[in-house]
């Protein structure tokens, strides 16, 4: 498993089907918040878009446990997680393993049954794969990044990560 190569790349979390996850024996998901299911510039009291809320509910209805995971502060993450009634890990310090390990304890599942969905190569993909968890890279919801995401986007451009985008969901 290459640390900088996601398991799969898709446009959006909305493109990930429950059946595909089940074929891959996934029973748990870590889902990044900012720019994956919630715009990074939105205030935490703004509602999550209905389609993202429905997709998270679809995973849960299919008995796929979901933990929201974010490097953001507790207040923001708790407010967003509260909108969908999901457990969360805030201040995850991705790509370091600490937040992923905290999320794994919440699921109580082996790594081989967990996937992580996020929009950044440096934090989401590398962090998940350092923990032995498969990573799905999605396109960011908004083009304007906060100052913390800019270095990650620069490295993605240098590596050509998104230029080589592929979707293996059909395979």
* Domain ranges across the chain: 8-159
Which residue pairs, CB below 8 angstroms and at least 24 apart, start in 90-96?
Answer: 92/127, 94/69, 94/118, 94/123, 94/124, 94/127, 95/122, 95/123, 95/124, 95/126, 95/127, 95/130, 96/127
Is 67 a residue whose pLDDT tops 90? yes
Is 164 a residue whose pLDDT tops 90? no
pLDDT in tens, 5-51: 899 999 999 999 999 999 999 999 999 999 999 988 788 889 999 99
**Beta sheet of 134-138, edge-to-edge order:** 8-10, 134-138, 114-118, 28-32, 65-69, 88-89
Query: Exposed, middle or buried, 130 (CB in 10 Å: 0-12/13-18/19+)?
Result: middle
State residue 142's pLDDT score: 80
Q: What is the pTM of this model?
A: 0.87
38: which DSSP letter? Answer: B
| Helix 74-84, helix 50-61: angle, nearest 10 | 70
Looking at domain 8-159, its CATH superfamily turns out to be HAD superfamily/HAD-like (3.40.50.1000)
Give residues with Cβ within 8 angstroms of 163, minimum separation 6: none
Distance of CA 143 to the CA centre of its chain: 17
């Amino acid at each position: 498993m290459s640390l900088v190569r996601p398991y799969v790349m898709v446009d959006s979390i909305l493109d990930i089907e429950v059946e595909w996850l089940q074929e891959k024996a996934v029973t748990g998901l870590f889902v990044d918040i900012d720019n994956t299911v919630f715009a990074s510039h939105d205030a935490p009291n703004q509602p999550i878009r209905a389609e993202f809320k429905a997709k998270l509910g679809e995973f849960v209805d299919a008995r796929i446990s979901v933990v929201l995971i974010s490097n953001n502060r507790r207040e923001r993450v708790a407010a967003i997680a509260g909108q969908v009634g999901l457990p969360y890990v805030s201040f995850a310090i991705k790509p370091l393993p600490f937040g992923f390990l905290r999320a794994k304890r919440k699921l109580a599942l082996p790594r081989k049954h967990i996937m992580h969905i996020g929009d950044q190569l440096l934090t989401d993909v590398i962090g998940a794969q350092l923990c032995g968890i498969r990573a799905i890279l999605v396109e960011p919801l908004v083009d304007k990044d906060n100052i913390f995401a800019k270095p990650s986007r620069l490295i993605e451009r240098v590596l050509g990560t998104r230029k080589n985008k592929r979707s293996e969901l059909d395979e």
